[in-house]
Amino acid sequence: MTNRQVFRFAPSPNGELHLGHALSACLNRRMADRSGGVMLLRMEDIDQARCTPAFERQIAEDLQWLGIGWDSPVRRQSEHFDAYRSALCRLDDMGLVYPASMSRREIREHVEAVEARGGHWPRDPDGQPHYPGLERDASKAERDVLTQSGRPYTLRLDMAQAVASAGGNLAWNELGSGPDGARVVLQADPASWGDVILARSDTPTSYHLSVVMDDAEQEITDVVRGQDLFHATAVHRLLQRLLDLPEPRYQHHALLLGPDGKKLSKTHRDRSIRAMREAGLSPRDVLDAMEDAPRSGGVETASVHLQE
């Protein structure tokens, strides 16, 4: 065992890298270098319909062109479906997983009906309504009917049971949220997400499940990623506890914004590394544009209880 710090950059090869990705990669590389550690690359390609080898090659080329190197081996999620499947089975054996059939439209209609009657319906930190969970207590026979019907379904975490099984005091170490960028311990509130998706009928994993498995498998000590994933950390800590996985430290950095004030995404075509390179910019120009780009403010941590 060494005390070497292990960082990772984990893009999804379903589009081109943009300046926001470059920021994440640079921060990870810099922190790895400063600590004498390593930075691993992970291709988050569980969505096989949208991820392609061509995008994967382009990501590697863009990083090389920017001068951002990584340490080997590269991990490709699509090569580890068996590991995710066995983690899912473990959670299922604990009685924490149920097959769920409602589509987005059915969820929306259900929630609208409740709200039309004056009822309150909880939303997750991304603003999406919690899953109604009507199938949570279905019998084995009822579950079999759904999973053998040929209709698409999701496998969801029974959040209330999962939180109860995990026991109390679920927290994480976050760098940069305290005064002067100090490390603080934040209380995790996974219940704010409701019954999250762990897998789908056609994919034996989800973002949440694979990210905790991969971080453990790659022995990541420090997760440095965008603020948009800040609240997801609560779900990750819960899964780590349930699956006996080690707990990394976290740092969620500001997001780069486009001229429209929205977080950079694929829709900001001219902010992709490829487009900037093709427009004749040098790697230095692109890194300067990254430093100068407008950024989101700090994560709203007021609602996250700071532990003593």
Using CB under 6 A as the binding rule, whether residue 225 contacts ligand GLU is answered as: yes
Cβ pair 105, 141 in contact under 8 A:
no
Which of 8-16, 78-86, 92-100, 241-249 is the region at the interface with ligand GLU (rule: CB under 6 A)? 8-16
CB of 12 to ligand GLU, least distance (A): 5
Closer to ligand GLU by CB, 12 or 227: give it: 12
CB of 18 to ligand GLU, least distance (A): 11
When computed from its CA atoms, the radius of gyration of the chain, rounded to whole angstroms, is 20
273 contacts: CB under 8 Å, gap ≥ 6? 16, 17, 18, 19, 21, 22, 62, 65, 66, 286
Using CB under 6 A as the binding rule, whether residue 258 contacts ligand GLU is answered as: no
Phi, psi for residue 237 in degrees, rounded to 5: -65, -40
Closest CA to 111 of 135, 126, 128, 99: 128
* 200 burial via Cβ count (<10 Å: 0-12, 13-18, 19+): middle
3-state secondary structure of 103: coil
Which of 4-12, 159-167, 175-183, 255-263 is the region at the interface with ligand GLU (rule: CB under 6 A)? 4-12
Which of 10-18, 31-39, 131-139, 158-166 is the region at the interface with ligand GLU (rule: CB under 6 A)? 10-18
Total residues binding ligand GLU (CB under 6 A): 7
Using CB under 6 A as the binding rule, whether residue 11 contacts ligand GLU is answered as: yes
CB of 44 to ligand GLU, least distance (A): 4
Using CB under 6 A as the binding rule, whether residue 12 contacts ligand GLU is answered as: yes
Using CB under 6 A as the binding rule, whether residue 44 contacts ligand GLU is answered as: yes
Stretch 123-162 residues interacting with ligand GLU (CB under 6 A)? none
Which of 5-13, 87-95, 126-134, 185-193 is the region at the interface with ligand GLU (rule: CB under 6 A)? 5-13
Using CB under 6 A as the binding rule, whether residue 45 contacts ligand GLU is answered as: no
Using CB under 6 A as the binding rule, whether residue 289 contacts ligand GLU is answered as: no
Closer to ligand GLU by CB, 44 or 174: give it: 44
Pairing of strands 38-43, 71-76: parallel
Hey, what are 247's tokens? 């707990």
Closer to ligand GLU by CB, 43 or 100: give it: 43
CB of 128 to ligand GLU, least distance (A): 17
Closest CA to 47 of 203, 256, 176: 203
Closer to ligand GLU by CB, 98 or 240: give it: 240
3-state secondary structure of 158: coil
Query: Rounded to the nearest 5 degrees, what angle is found at the Cα of 255, between the Cα atoms of 253 and 261?
Result: 155
What is the helix (H) or strand (E) element at residue 74, kind and residue range?
strand 71-76
Using CB under 6 A as the binding rule, whether residue 111 contacts ligand GLU is answered as: no
List 94, 229, 245, 281, residue binding ligand GLU (CB under 6 A): 229
Using CB under 6 A as the binding rule, whether residue 211 contacts ligand GLU is answered as: yes
Using CB under 6 A as the binding rule, whether residue 10 contacts ligand GLU is answered as: yes
Closer to ligand GLU by CB, 11 or 204: give it: 11
Cβ pair 64, 77 in contact under 8 A:
no
> What are the respective helix, strand and coil percentages of the chain, to the nearest 5?
40, 20, 40
Hey, what are 180's tokens? 């002067």
Chain positions contacting ligand GLU, by CB under 6 A = 10-12, 44, 211, 225, 229
